[in-house]
Amino acid sequence: MKLRGELWPDVKESELWNRANFTGFTTIPRTISLILRIIDELDRKNAARVYLDLWCRSFDDYVIEVRDEYEMAFASGYHGQRAVRTWRERLAVIENFGFVKTHRASHGAFRLVLLLDPHKVIERLHEEQKIEEEDWIALRSMLITIGELTD
């Protein structure tokens, strides 16, 4: 706060986003940027966009109800005639790597999505030699820095 005040003295509190004053927030891992990078490195189809949108929709039960696939596709960066198809494909990519579990409605549309612990998923993928060593080291380093790994 002191440094912020020194570097940006003209910025008012009202110009900053404060989760204490806003109801639309969620908890995400501090490692989310590296998790997103790893997802995109695994498949190179921008599936990380879908993953981030899922985290932004999650509550503490980590179950996301899919009410409108087109709206979720749009929020993930897809639009036009193939938006829902592309979104479904990317969600399937995330599921195939084990980051989520899904439940479909009887007509085939995604209905529910469960977010799993991404660090455990990445650890398993690393053991299967599917994660680049540089990405693995970067993630481990950040986990140590934030106090998540103490051994």
For the chain, what percent of residues have pLDDT higher than 70?
Answer: 99
Q: Is residue 57 a part of any domain in this protein?
A: yes
How high does pLDDT run on average in the chain?
93
The pLDDT of 61-83, averaged and rounded, is: 95
Tens-place pLDDT, residues 93-132: 999 999 999 998 888 789 999 999 999 999 999 999 999 9
User: pTM of the full predicted structure?
Assistant: 0.89
Residue 125 forms part of a structural domain: yes
Tell me the residue range of the domain where 73 lies: 31-145
Q: Check: CB of residue 141 under 8 Å from CB of residue 147.
A: no
Place of tokens 């696939």: 69
Would 5 be classed as within a structural domain? no
Q: What is the pLDDT of residue 151?
A: 62
Q: Report the alpha-carbon distance of residue 18 to residue 25 in Å, rounded.
A: 10
How does residue 22 score in pLDDT terms, banded at 50, 70 and 90? Answer: confident
The count of domains in the chain is 1
pLDDT band at 9 (very low <50, low <70, confident <90, very high): very high
Q: How many residues does the chain have?
A: 151
Contact 105, 66 (CB under 8 A): no
Would you place residue 72 in the very low, low, confident or very high pLDDT band (cuts 50, 70, 90)? very high
Residue 40 lies in a domain: yes
pLDDT number for residue 107: 81
DSSP 8-state code for residue 65? E
DSSP 16: S
* 36 located within any domain: yes
Measured CA to CA, the distance from residue 31 to residue 53 in angstroms comes to: 15
CATH number at residue 100: 1.10.10
Residue 135 lies in a domain: yes
DSSP labels, 83-145: HHHHHHHHHHHHHHHTSEEEEE-TTS-EEEEEE--HHHHHHHHHHTT-S-HHHHHHHHHHHHH
- Domain membership of residue 7 (yes or no) is no
Identify whether 14 is part of a domain: no
Taking the C-alpha atoms of residue 42 and residue 97, their distance in angstroms, rounded to an integer, is 8
Q: Is the pLDDT of residue 150 over 80?
A: no
